[in-house]
Amino acid sequence: MTFTPSRRETLLGAASLLAAAGCSQSAPAPSPSLASLAAEKGLKFGTAMNSRQLSDPRYIDLVLKECAVIVAENEHKMYTIQPSPDAMDFSRGDALAAFARENGLGMRGHTVVWHHPRWLPDWINNSVFGSAAEAEAELTRYINAVASRDQDVIYSWDVINEAVDDQTGELRETSYSRAMGGGAEVIDFCFRQTKEAAPNATLAYNDYMSWEPGTQNHRRGVLRLLEELKKRGTPIDALGIQSHSNYGMPDEFTAERKREWKAFVDEVVGMGLDIYLTEFDVNDTRLDPDPALRDRLIATYTEEYLGMMLDYPQTKDILLWGMVDKDSWLQTFLPRDDGVEKRPVPWDSDYQPKPMREAIARALKAAPAR
């Protein structure tokens, strides 16, 4: 007996053929990726990624679907590359760069020198350089080795991270600054040396100053530093605004705080600098534990914050500090008192999108082209 398909089966078969060919009328259009929405406006969209996630197919899938760039969560930091003076280990940073290369992604380098004693290796903190020249020689050796690698994918470096004390606004003291006569000397030197080692990369100063209460000294200190660098002719292209909310909650981004924050960003772009949003996530430490409520507040804040920042044509990059909740650094760095899992990034721990993902899409769609 020959099998005769019913009319309904024939129609279904035709519909799936059309859908497979990408010309179905009824199938929902695939929603554009965040990377493509960003690219339409002249922006780059991406995420932090760590070398463990290189063996997580679900994470990789999200990165490849949504992102045009990655940044290493820890693999380009001095404490990973040279935790002790004996040897340098580039394997983990190179593995992430190779992943970027193989998949046609760009990469941001984070960070040449995290100018903060808490995050410098002990052997640097304990070094007593005999002179400025000795400290400069050590920085030159390190910078040349790090910034010259993987230049085909690394299009931008955070040359210096977090050099401004968030309480006083003064530059932090390190073994380098003690030898070189001050923090500004170290920072200026590192930018010039990175420029030599990676002449095609754009160079940023990266920090976590923000709109949050009590951050005025931090913002002032960063402006002072940027002014000083401009005066010295330091080759700096951009301010990296990490965009973590550390202690302020998403529902505390009040009109007054928006005004203060905007005044800060106006000053930065007024100096001729670009803006990179380098580490965006939203802290929900003190929000009501109800997940739906948190997701709503986080999405609202995301759209408002990114809306404001993307209105500046000087904003060029926007990177998340991770894509899925369970891997977010905030789960352990700033855990909730009630032990409930935090929801700081756009995908939940099952890799499903939350309202924050659509909020980013809306902000990108609303952004002016640059």
Q: Which is nearer to ligand XIL, 25 or 332 (CB)?
A: 332
Token pair recorded at residue 244: 């973590």
| Site membership for ligand XIL, residue 300 (CB under 6 A) | no
> Which one of 66, 73, 136, 185 is in contact with ligand XIL (CB under 6 A)?
73
98 vs 259: CA distance, rounded Å: 42
As measured in angstroms, the least distance from the Cβ of 176 to ligand XIL is 18
Residue of 164, 243, 235, 234 lying closest to 202 (CA atoms): 235
Q: Mention every residue, 6+ apart, whose C-beta is less than 8 A from residue 289.
A: 336, 338, 340
As measured in angstroms, the least distance from the Cβ of 37 to ligand XIL is 25
| Site membership for ligand XIL, residue 242 (CB under 6 A) | yes
Q: What 3-state class would DSSP assign to 195?
A: helix
Q: Which is nearer to ligand XIL, 59 or 129 (CB)?
A: 59
As measured in angstroms, the least distance from the Cβ of 279 to ligand XIL is 6
Q: Mention every residue, 6+ apart, whose C-beta is less than 8 A from residue 68.
A: 35, 38, 39, 44, 45, 46, 105, 106
Q: Which is nearer to ligand XIL, 121 or 355 (CB)?
A: 121
As measured in angstroms, the least distance from the Cβ of 240 to ligand XIL is 8
Helix 291-310 × helix 355-366 angle, to 10°: 20
Site string for ligand XIL, 197-236 (x = CB under 6 A): ----------------------------------------
State the DSSP string of 99-128. HHHHTT-EEEEEEEEE--GGGS-HHHHT--
How many residues touch ligand XIL (CB under 6 A)? 6
| Site membership for ligand XIL, residue 329 (CB under 6 A) | yes
| Site membership for ligand XIL, residue 284 (CB under 6 A) | no
Residues 109, 125, 81: CA angle, nearest 5 degrees: 35
> Which one of 53, 80, 156, 161 is in contact with ligand XIL (CB under 6 A)?
161
| Residue closest to ligand XIL when measured from CB atoms | 329
The partner residues of 320 in beta bridges, in order of sequence, read 47, 280
Q: How far is CA 261 from CA 43, 211, 255, 298, in A?
A: 21, 5, 10, 18
Q: Which is nearer to ligand XIL, 79 or 141 (CB)?
A: 79
Q: Which is nearer to ligand XIL, 93 or 355 (CB)?
A: 93
Q: Which is nearer to ligand XIL, 241 or 361 (CB)?
A: 241
Q: Which is nearer to ligand XIL, 109 or 183 (CB)?
A: 109
Note every long-range contact of 195-198, with CB atoms under 8 Å and residues 24 or more positions apart, other chains counting: 195/235, 196/144, 197/143, 197/144, 197/146, 197/147, 197/148, 198/109, 198/147, 198/148, 198/151, 198/154, 198/157
| Site membership for ligand XIL, residue 75 (CB under 6 A) | no
| Site membership for ligand XIL, residue 74 (CB under 6 A) | yes
As measured in angstroms, the least distance from the Cβ of 276 to ligand XIL is 12
- In the chain, % helix, strand, coil (3-state, to 5) comes to 45, 15, 40
| Site membership for ligand XIL, residue 317 (CB under 6 A) | no
Among residue numbers 41 through 60, which ones bind ligand XIL (CB under 6 A)? none
As measured in angstroms, the least distance from the Cβ of 332 to ligand XIL is 8
Among residue numbers 254 through 283, which ones bind ligand XIL (CB under 6 A)? 279
Q: Which is nearer to ligand XIL, 127 or 242 (CB)?
A: 242
Q: Which is nearer to ligand XIL, 73 or 237 (CB)?
A: 73
Q: Which is nearer to ligand XIL, 74 or 217 (CB)?
A: 74
Would you say 83 and 72 are in contact if contact means Cβ atoms under 8 Å apart? no
Q: Is the peptide bond before 111 cis (omega within 30 degrees of 0)?
A: yes
Residue of 108, 66, 110, 107 lying closest to 356 (CA atoms): 66
What count of other Cβ atoms lies within 10 Å of the Cβ of residue 354? Answer: 20
**Can you give the binding site for ligand XIL, defined by CB under 6 A?**
73-74, 161, 242, 279, 329
